[in-house]
């Protein structure tokens, strides 16, 4: 029976770059001929994706599977936590909603039995793959959580995996964070740490060398590499923590301006990545307290709580700004929760969203949404029905994406955007999405809709035509270069790490 070799990346804190480095390692092992899979026992993230069989997992593991050249599986992220409100999250187990739980109840009632789920997934993956690239969460040295932590050293124990400890030098205090983390580990946990990776380095490596020498002398653990800060790498981020550092992409004075509303409970914001890097285009997040101002396209992204974030749009005055931009001819796109908000009403009879009943929508699409207890998770394929505006050149074309939503929306037939014809591989005929007259205001439940090159090219060239700019070709689209981005990422990380040392640590 095959037993995969493992390597686990744990961090001195959250947001040190573990997800991206794991994606790079998945690509490197794939390039080196190993059948490779990613794994993360428990993910807290509002960026998720859908596996071919309709399960929901963290977006990071979906990206890592893509980098490894394999299909994503619920085994790769058995437990997903999706925060709904400050003290409550939806718990997704093996791809399906399990329950809404408070942090206290999750820790007390759920975690003791979760170890068996994690162990089973690890064993199945190790029997099917040759290499397992495992990602931790936060820090393994959270002393108040360690007794029931299933995602760091407990996972390393279950997988019998060596651990590399990753630290973010861009934050400062990198040596204290590495040594301090080691000091807080139990002796058997410390024994698993076989190397350090220093990430997000911007300086002169020669000036860093005395610190690296001190680190090795102090701990007896080698530094496997110093990875440079990766600007505009184009790989999907794990969660909205990365948005706090993001001011925008592209020239501030670019002729095409795209504004993305940074909702308080934003989810699946990776939908906008297709626009990042477009020629002549500025993409920016509109954060609380900032005005949308001028925008050629406004995107209202997904959210884990459509009703509460719709209230936010109204209280912050964004609903008025959006209505004014529509009158001026701007495009407005609503994705999933954003699509629901663009409709006429949101009805919550079961208290699924916020327990406040119904709420009037923005009224820009002829859509009524009812929130239900059941969740829709599907990879889908369909056909574009719309014929208004630029959609006329797309009418009848194929489209694909994935659904992750609680609500069901009713729309007038003549306003339907597309027809879903396959859900999780099963034939169906279901309408999705809506457009307003003229086609410049539209919404859909389909995440990843902008990853369809035909649609993206038509939309982009419509915006360019409005500005008198020449049309782009499909080769000019950033999404066309996704595989190349994985290779570039792998090339950078491979060059920064002592790969022979890593292979020895893994026993490869």
Query: pLDDT tens, position by position, for the chain (508 residues)?
Result: 468 999 999 999 988 989 999 999 999 999 998 999 999 999 987 778 888 888 889 889 999 999 999 999 999 999 998 887 667 888 899 888 888 888 888 888 888 889 999 999 999 999 999 999 999 998 998 888 878 888 999 999 999 999 999 999 988 889 999 999 999 999 999 999 999 999 998 888 889 999 999 999 999 999 999 999 886 655 655 554 455 555 678 889 999 999 999 999 888 777 888 898 899 999 999 999 999 989 999 999 999 889 999 999 999 999 999 999 999 999 999 999 999 999 999 998 887 777 777 899 999 999 999 988 777 778 889 999 999 999 999 999 999 888 887 778 888 767 899 999 998 888 999 999 999 999 999 999 999 899 899 999 999 999 999 999 999 998 888 877 777 888 889 999 999 999 999 999 999 8
pLDDT at residue number 148: 82
Cα 187 from Cα 358, distance rounded (Å): 55
Angle, helix 318-327 to helix 306-315, in steps of 10 degrees: 80
Distance of CA 364 to the CA centre of its chain: 28
Tens-place pLDDT, residues 13-41: 988 989 999 999 999 999 998 999 999 99
pLDDT at residue number 49: 84
* Closest CA relative to residue 140, chosen from 92, 195, 86, 177: 177
Q: Is 126 helix (H, G, I), strand (E, B) or coil?
A: helix
Secondary element (H or E) of residue 327: helix 318-327
What letters, b where the CB count within 10 A reaches 16 and e where it falls short, cover 311-347?
A: ebbeebebbebbeebbeeebbbbbbbbbbbbbbeebb
Residue by residue, what is the 3-state secondary structure of 418-439?
Answer: EEEEEECCEEEEEEEEEECCCC
pLDDT at residue number 246: 58
Angle at 461 (CA atoms; ends 457, 465), nearest 5 degrees: 175
Strands 131-135 and 223-228, bridge-based pairing: unpaired
pLDDT at residue number 90: 86
Exposed/middle/buried for residue 280 (C-beta within 10 Å: 0-12, 13-18, 19+): middle
pLDDT at residue number 1: 46
Cα 24 from Cα 494, distance rounded (Å): 8
Catalytic (active-site) positions: 336, 447
* Closest CA relative to residue 409, chosen from 344, 316, 502, 464: 344
pTM over the 0.75 mark? no
């Amino acid at each position: 029976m095959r037993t995969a070799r493992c390597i686990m990346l744990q961090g001195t804190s959250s947001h040190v770059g573990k997800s991206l480095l794991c994606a790079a390692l998945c690509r490197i092992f794939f390039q080196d001929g190993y059948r490779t899979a990613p794994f993360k026992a428990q993910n807290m993230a509002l960026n998720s994706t859908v596996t071919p069989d309709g399960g929901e997992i963290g977006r990071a593991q979906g990206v890592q599977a893509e980098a490894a050249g394999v299909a994503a599986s619920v085994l790769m992220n058995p437990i997903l936590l999706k925060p709904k409100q400050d003290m409550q999250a939806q718990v997704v187990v093996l791809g399906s909603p399990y329950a809404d739980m408070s942090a206290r109840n999750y820790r007390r009632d759920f975690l003791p039995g979760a170890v068996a789920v994690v162990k089973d997934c690890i064993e199945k993956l190790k029997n099917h793959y040759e290499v397992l690239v495992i990602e931790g969460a936060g820090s393994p040295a959270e002393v108040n959580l360690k007794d029931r932590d299933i995602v760091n050293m407990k996972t390393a124990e279950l997988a019998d995996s060596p651990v590399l400890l990753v630290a973010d030098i861009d934050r400062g205090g990198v040596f204290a964070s590495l040594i301090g983390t080691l000091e807080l580990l139990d002796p058997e946990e410390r024994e698993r740490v076989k190397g350090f990776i220093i990430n997000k380095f911007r300086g002169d490596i020669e000036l860093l060398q005395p610190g690296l020498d001190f680190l090795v002398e102090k701990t007896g653990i080698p530094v496997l590499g110093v990875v440079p800060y990766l600007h505009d790498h184009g790989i999907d981020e794990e969660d909205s923590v990365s948005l706090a550092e993001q001011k925008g992409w592209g020239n501030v004075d670019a002729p095409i301006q795209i504004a993305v509303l940074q909702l308080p409970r934003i989810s699946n914001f990776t939908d906008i990545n297709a626009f990042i890097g477009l020629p002549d285009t500025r993409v920016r997040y509109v954060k609380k307290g900032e005005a949308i101002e001028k925008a050629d396209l406004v995107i209202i992204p997904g959210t884990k709580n459509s009703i509460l974030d719709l209230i936010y749009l109204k209280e912050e005055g964004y609903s008025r700004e959006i209505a004014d931009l529509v009158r001026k001819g701007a495009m407005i796109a609503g994705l999933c929760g954003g699509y629901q908000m663009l409709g006429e009403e949101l009805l919550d009879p079961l208290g699924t969203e916020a327990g406040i009943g119904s709420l009037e929508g923005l009224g820009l699409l002829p859509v009524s949404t009812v929130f239900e207890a059941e969740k829709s998770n599907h990879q889908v394929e369909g056909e574009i029905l719309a014929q208004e505006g630029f959609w006329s050149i797309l009418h009848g074309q194929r489209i694909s994406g994935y659904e992750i939503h609680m609500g069901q929306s009713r729309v007038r037939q003549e306003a339907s955007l597309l027809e879903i014809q396959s859900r999780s591989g099963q034939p169906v005929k279901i309408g999705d999405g809506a457009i307003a007259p003229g086609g410049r205001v539209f919404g859909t439940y389909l995440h990843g809709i902008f990853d369809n090159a035909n649609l993206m090219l038509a939309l982009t060239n419509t915006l360019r035509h409005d500005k008198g700019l020449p049309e782009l070709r499909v080769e000019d689209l950033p999404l066309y270069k996704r595989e190349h981005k994985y290779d570039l990422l792998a090339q950078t990380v491979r060059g920064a790490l002592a790969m022979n040392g890593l292979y020895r640590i893994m026993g490869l």
